[in-house]
Chain A
């Protein structure tokens, strides 16, 4: 987007306070105010405003890809709350002409708004986010009834942006032990799947004091999820399953 193509009467300036850190140059992070011109005759997304800021500061770094809330690349902390820049209207977060952008908290910063997601994906890997079957494969496919399929609604939609886990204090303090809301949502997604045949093993893996039980139900994850999912409910479902299962 180019502000130059917009008539002057339809332009206003906003200040974007952006977290900057380049470990090869900077000794420590700092906040940089970048004034950008945005159109007033239409609403733009935070990601669009970031592009305008990058026109002025080409060294500004952030992840983005699909720019429509599907790839989950541009998760960041917008005015103190995690969200996807590409689906967050600027008008909703602009306060007195100013917006503050920081990287998602709790993960190491690679540069500017880019975080190292390794801890996040390491925890996801632990829940084995794929279908595990032991019975012989059917000729065609493993079928589900419509009701069984419905059980997965609100679970399969997760795009792994990391907004939930990086807004969770339990994940901040123990990112190596507590799996975090995103991984636990995926765990429940496969426990709840009628075709999966590893429920007992999955539950056994969550029986320690940290992996699941470090969730204290503060629901930051629910508050920030850009897809409107409910990891706290998924965690609660797993907990109920753990407490009521008839173990062999």
Chain B
């Protein structure tokens, strides 16, 4: 089914699935914080040492990375274009995408190192 979708439909679905994952994880983590009387370092460590929570947290960061990558592409292709900035438009687009890619790579690497 998914492979038969066109480029636009795939991106549309991916962004929304990622958004749902991010929302789910935010509620899950928020629930843990709210339902725990006092979140101590030990409880925090136990929570993140649980393999299921490690996987869920990794999934959250993966969803964040994909959502950010596709979402900022949409923003950049609206505003950072030759139509608006002339000859500078293409360079600004590539520059912005490079900065976003660097930030996502940094956050992902950092998250993986911390989680695992």
Contacts and interface: CB of A to CB of B under 8 A. Distances in A.
A-B interaction: yes
Interface of A: 169-170, 173-174, 204, 206-214, 239, 242-243, 247
A243 B9 contact: yes
B83 A242 contact: no
Interface stretch (B27-35, B43-51, B73-81): B73-81
B12 A239 contact: yes
A204 B13 contact: no
A242 B6 CA distance: 9
Interface of B is mostly: helix
Contact of B7 (A169, A209, A239, A247): A209
Nearest to A205: B6
Interface string B51-86: 000000000000000000000001001110101100
Interface of B: 4-9, 11-13, 74, 77-79, 81, 83-84
Contact of B5 (A206, A210, A211, A243): A243
A208 B9 CA distance: 8
Contacts of A209: 7-8, 11
Interface of A is mostly: loop
Contact of A173 (B5, B7, B78): B78
Nearest to A209: B8
Contacts of B81: 173-174
A204 to B, nearest CB: 7
B8 to A, nearest CB: 4
A239 B74 CA distance: 17
A238 to B, nearest CB: 11
B83 A213 contact: no
Contact of B78 (A170, A207, A208, A211): A170
B84 A243 contact: no
A207 B79 contact: no
Nearest to B73: A209
A173 B6 contact: no
Contacts of A207: 5-9
B78 A174 contact: yes
Contact of B84 (A169, A173, A210): A173
A3 B7 CA distance: 59
A206 B5 CA distance: 11
A25 B3 CA distance: 57
A208 B8 contact: yes
A208 B8 CA distance: 5
A212 B6 CA distance: 12
A208 B7 contact: yes
